[in-house]
Structure 1
Amino acid sequence: MATRSLRRSGLKLAAATTAVFGGAAAATVAVSDDPSTVLKLYTAVPVRLIRDSITAASIAFDYEYSLWGLAEGSIERSSVKHEVHLRSARKLQELCFKNGGIYIKIGQHIGQLEYLVPQEYVQTMRESMLNKCPVSSYDQVCEVFKKELGETPDKIFSEFDPVPIASASLAQVHVASTHDGQKVAVKVQHTHMTDTAAADQASVELIVNTLHQFFPSFDYRWLVDEIAESLPKELDFLVEAKNSEKCLYNFRKLSPRIADYIYAPKVHWNLSSSKLLTMEFIDGVQVNDVKGIRRLGVQPNDVAKLVSQAFAEMMFRHGFVHCDPHEANLLVRPLPSSRKTILGKRKPQLILLDHGLYKDLDFQTRTNYAALWKALVFADAKAIKENSVKLGAGEDLYALFAGILTMRPWNRVVDPAADHLVIQGNESDRSELQLDFLQCWLPCGFYDLGKPLLSETEESSTRTELHWMQEMFSFPHCILRVQTIKYQFIQFHFFVLINKYDLYLGGFVIFKSSGSARAKRGV
């Protein structure tokens, strides 16, 4: 019976693959009028689609076949499931590296879904997708330069290192020197990205939709929607340059108190285009490099506070939020204007990199989101539900929404104990939240919960990043600073200090009037 069922599914998948090929081929023709480009795509796309189909079918059948007949909750099933997760994660990792481009973006996204997808996937993707991305050859780099600026890099710059210092999913970075002696970082888009992006997007969408038809629990259609929205912005480096300048402008105008502590590389507009971005070169260490931070004379806990405060300002005050805050995009250096204390310590400055993707949050969204975090801090179940519903989570999914934001199961979210926000990272919390995720989120698809999460939790991924900061830093606590915006009558301003032993909550409420304010000390 099982064999017959699997055979039927295999025949359906084989038939569906034909549709996948046809749809992607149409996308291939649409992306370019250049005959040579179209020919290149017709050669490359079928190979990528074959990989997609084989990998997707292999993963799906592995789960169906390996877990068939094993009792739910049994030790044997748990052991087998772990092995299947690990095998499948490695297959997906291999596919991402072979295809490159948006596939690596998908892998990076999966690596950030701590607590929501099996840990085998998170660890496999996280350990490889941030620092082992494919590299374009120097000839390919020269091809981009000639198309964009009309000359090869050795003509445009006095010095240009052909070996990149970093490579990501969409581009790689080279060190160069301008003819007037300025050291710069040059971000060069991978040559295949523009040509294959539309076809890749179409093939991923068709593969995901096809698998969902035959295996309803495999529902990652929300990821396709996210790629469709974000990829065009990320492929235009001029958008990134404008975002970078707008981010710093917001800090200067709206958050002047910490503006000096936040920085982004200056853009050389005359040496930039939609596929090339030339920026000021900045030395710094990654935000999770504790030893490196200490070597700078900077305290790791000061860095944690600054990261938390910076993203709170963006979320609640600016309404313009950096949506890719993983460790490779956050650098730390000593504040240039600061002096060493008698203990040899200096204040940190946070360098924000990769400004390709930002999210605009309107006034009402920020107000509701602030109220939701206030409710989460105080474990107010009624207010959590009310504000989650306002953000679009719905009457049925508010508990899951709260769990995703806090990375804790619902019983911990509403626990009145003072330490209910402690980041334990234990396996029972992880398993319970993953079970909620699988039971509620996937069958419903990302469409019900999609709006609040695609509109708000791009920036809530920042909170996820604070979780890994807590794990990376040797000090036992993490600062979560939640600042709401000034709305019509009240501004609530508080911070939470979390560690494994206690919770300290301090704050004040300001009742705003036209000319003055009354402050009431709280908690």
Structure 2
Amino acid sequence: MLRTLLSYKPIRRTAFLAGAGATIWGVDNYYCHSALTRNVRTISAGLIILADYKLNFTPGKVDEIDQLHERTAKRILDVCQKNGGLYIKFGQQIASVPVLPAAYARTFKVLYDNAPAVPYPEVEQIFLQEFGKLPSDDYQTFSRQPLASASIAQVHRATLPDGSVVAVKVQKPSIRYQMDMDLWTYRLLLRVYEHLFDLPLVWSADYIETHLRQETDFLHEGRNAERAAKAAKTAPGIGDKVYVPKVYWDLSSKRVLSAEWINGIALNDMEKIDAKGWSRKEIMTTMVDVFADQIFREGFVHGDPHPGNILVRDHPKSLNSRHTKPQLVLLDHGLYVDCRPAFKHEYALFWKALFTQDMETLKRVTESWGIRDVEIFASATLQRPWRKGHAVHVEAPAIGDAFRRQEEIKERVKHFLSNTDIMPKELIFLGRNMNLIRSNNKLYGSPVNRINMMANRAVENLGLTQHFSRLNFSYWMFRGTLFLSALSFYMVRIVQKVRNRVLGKGEGGGFEDLMDKASMKAMEEFGIKIDESVFEG
């Protein structure tokens, strides 16, 4: 009977295609970790989104544009969640772009939650592949359940034969098999969308790909950690206020990283932080100082300082004191920006020029970076409104309908990035670093004036005697601007304290809150509408 059925060409052809499809699916699922399935899913969703925008993003459908953004964001989120791995990173990048419609920032928040963990037998397989032995061969104890799970790795607690406690970061097994095709698909979609929407998108692809690949190399992360630890020790005014856990090199490889276990409190666990009696201002001063030092002196900058990557613990030197002092612990050193010396110097000059109203220097630096719009870039850098003369208009004119606003934003972006070939790629992750610093300060009630602290660090690392003499008018212009900024900051702090103690309403975001609101209004003047959720970090 089977032979009779197969004698019919349509049935034979169908059977062949079904068999071939099942074979391809089996090979892809069991040997290629679903790399083909994941990318077919991505390309299909990309084509659907593309068609949706082409058909529905028109002046005649203005009332439906918000719904268009909403369903597009949900489609992309669905792909990121189903694909996992590097797609979580891609989604987080999308969520951090402030000029995208509000629906994206709202929808993609869930990607910052813990990712699903892989079972313990798969962890053992990684150890067999990397070291030729099981975790039990090197560690006295090893937790079968991870304590945390992220997009590309999960962390287990273990103890060494000598009793030392270590954190063991294990890469998820599918990452090495999926990465090449994921990045190829990512680049393909960028090229398609750049061509169809006439927007500069591909210019950052090489730089982002390089750093994503580095994040999956845990030996590279270990070297970053050691360099960051050395930089913190030599940083003026920081020293042992910041700590980076020690790496155990004999128990580390490209896909496994063993580091000193640190008992501490997550930076955003405000209840426990306050219960310790630690000063929020002291913690935040140290945090802003260490990252400002990384940016302006060392030129080696942590690319992802979110609260989950920063712990606060009792300073070891104060354990015998009645009141312990806080020490910051920096974790997760996979993503770092290594700034070129020329860029680091130009960036410090740019910050100095912002506070001295040196338009000649501002234009020279931004034009050398291929950036035409000084005011937008200055506002984005400071994360507060900036105008020549600091005359900021907070009343935004009517933006017009949703379609026209989106078209205006596109033209702004194209004009802003006049030459992406010469734009410093370091700015991609520096912006993320400073946005997270701002967000952390806001979380703590804005106890420090981070803008003034960053500006002072920039000028210090230019060299006061060589570039910034006290006899120079620009020096006093700089100091005067910082004084006015500090005056505004302390006035807000006074109101904030009164509001908290008299009315019992809590400290809120304070100075950072005011700057966020002013930034939103200022960006609307540029034709860019920003959703409040962007400032939540």
Please report the TM-score for the alignment, with normalisation by the length of structure 2: 0.74
Taking structure 1 as reference, are residues 369 and 81 closer, same or farther at Cα in structure 2, changes over 3 Å only? Answer: same
Q: Which residue, out of 207, 211, 236, partners 2:217?
A: 236
Distance in 2, Cα, partners of 1:150 & 1:363: 42
1:163-182 counterparts in 2 under 5 A? 163-182=145-164
> Could you tell me which amino acid in structure 2 is paired with residue 304 of structure 1?
M
Whether 2:60 is the aligned partner of 1:70: answer yes
Whether 2:440 is the aligned partner of 1:469: answer yes
> Could you tell me which amino acid in structure 2 is paired with residue 194 of structure 1?
R
CA contact (8 A) 1:265 1:281 kept: yes
> Could you tell me which amino acid in structure 2 is paired with residue 405 of structure 1?
T
Distance in 2, Cα, partners of 1:335 & 1:476: 21
Equivalence for 1:204: 186
Whether 2:233 is the aligned partner of 1:259: answer no
Higher Cα radius of gyration = 2
Equivalence for 2:249: 269
1:356-395 counterparts in 2 under 5 A? 356-390=334-368, 392-394=369-371
CA-CA distance at 1:401 after TM superposition:
2.7
Partner of 1:70, secondary structure, is helix
Kindly report the root-mean-square deviation, in angstroms, between the aligned alpha carbons of the 2 structures. Answer: 3.6
CA-CA distance at 1:225 after TM superposition:
2.3
Distance in 2, Cα, partners of 1:51 & 1:427: 42
Taking structure 1 as reference, are residues 434 and 151 closer, same or farther at Cα in structure 2, changes over 3 Å only? Answer: farther
Whether 2:396 is the aligned partner of 1:414: answer no
CA contact (8 A) 2:127 2:134 kept: yes
> Could you tell me which amino acid in structure 1 is paired with residue 154 of structure 2?
Q
Any idea what the Cα deviations from partners look like across 1:411-451, whole Å, max 9, x if unmatched?
x343525xx69xx9x9999x99998753233x479783465
Distance in 2, Cα, partners of 1:497 & 1:129: 40
Bigger share in strand: 1
**More deviation, 241-250/332-341:** 332-341
Equivalence for 2:75: 91
> Could you tell me which amino acid in structure 1 is paired with residue 101 of structure 2?
P
Distance in 2, Cα, partners of 1:497 & 1:123: 37
Any idea what the Cα deviations from partners look like across 1:388-419, whole Å, max 9, x if unmatched?
224x134x24444323323346xx343525xx
CA-CA distance at 1:168 after TM superposition:
1.5
Q: Which residue, out of 407, 412, 424, partners 1:440?
A: 412
Taking structure 1 as reference, are residues 476 and 355 closer, same or farther at Cα in structure 2, changes over 3 Å only? Answer: closer
> Could you tell me which amino acid in structure 2 is paired with residue 189 of structure 1?
Q
> Could you tell me which amino acid in structure 2 is paired with residue 226 of structure 1?
Y
Whether 2:79 is the aligned partner of 1:103: answer no
Distance in 1, Cα, partners of 2:337 & 2:446: 31
Equivalence for 2:165: 183
Distance in 2, Cα, partners of 1:103 & 1:498: 44
CA contact (8 A) 1:405 1:457 kept: no
CA contact (8 A) 1:470 1:476 kept: yes
Taking structure 1 as reference, are residues 281 and 435 closer, same or farther at Cα in structure 2, changes over 3 Å only? Answer: farther
Whether 2:198 is the aligned partner of 1:220: answer no
Q: Which residue, out of 85, 106, 128, partners 2:110?
A: 128
CA contact (8 A) 2:438 2:450 kept: no
Any idea what the Cα deviations from partners look like across 1:484-514, whole Å, max 9, x if unmatched?
3144813689795998981479xxxxxxxxx
Taking structure 1 as reference, are residues 436 and 465 closer, same or farther at Cα in structure 2, changes over 3 Å only? Answer: farther
Distance in 1, Cα, partners of 2:237 & 2:121: 46
Taking structure 1 as reference, are residues 393 and 447 closer, same or farther at Cα in structure 2, changes over 3 Å only? Answer: closer
Distance in 1, Cα, partners of 2:116 & 2:485: 39
CA contact (8 A) 1:479 1:496 kept: no
Bigger share in helix: 2
Taking structure 1 as reference, are residues 165 and 439 closer, same or farther at Cα in structure 2, changes over 3 Å only? Answer: farther
Partner of 1:238, secondary structure, is helix
Equivalence for 1:335: 315
Distance in 1, Cα, partners of 2:405 & 2:339: 27
CA-CA distance at 1:50 after TM superposition:
1.8
CA-CA distance at 1:207 after TM superposition:
2.2
CA contact (8 A) 2:92 2:112 kept: yes
> Could you tell me which amino acid in structure 2 is paired with residue 468 of structure 1?
S
Whether 2:31 is the aligned partner of 1:40: answer yes
> Could you tell me which amino acid in structure 1 is paired with residue 207 of structure 2?
E
Whether 2:65 is the aligned partner of 1:81: answer yes
Distance in 2, Cα, partners of 1:260 & 1:340: 17
Taking structure 1 as reference, are residues 468 and 143 closer, same or farther at Cα in structure 2, changes over 3 Å only? Answer: same
CA-CA distance at 1:300 after TM superposition:
2.2
CA-CA distance at 1:476 after TM superposition:
6.5
Equivalence for 1:112: 96
CA-CA distance at 1:233 after TM superposition:
1.4
Distance in 2, Cα, partners of 1:433 & 1:68: 12
CA-CA distance at 1:473 after TM superposition:
2.1
Distance in 2, Cα, partners of 1:99 & 1:368: 40
Distance in 2, Cα, partners of 1:379 & 1:348: 38
Equivalence for 1:14: none
> Could you tell me which amino acid in structure 2 is paired with residue 85 of structure 1?
H
Equivalence for 1:321: 301
Partner of 1:198, secondary structure, is helix
Equivalence for 1:15: none
Partner of 1:163, secondary structure, is coil
Whether 2:51 is the aligned partner of 1:61: answer yes
**More deviation, 98-107/52-61:** 52-61
Runs of 5+ consecutive residues of structure 1 not aligned to the other structure = 1-35, 72-76, 506-523
Equivalence for 2:20: none
Aligned length: 447
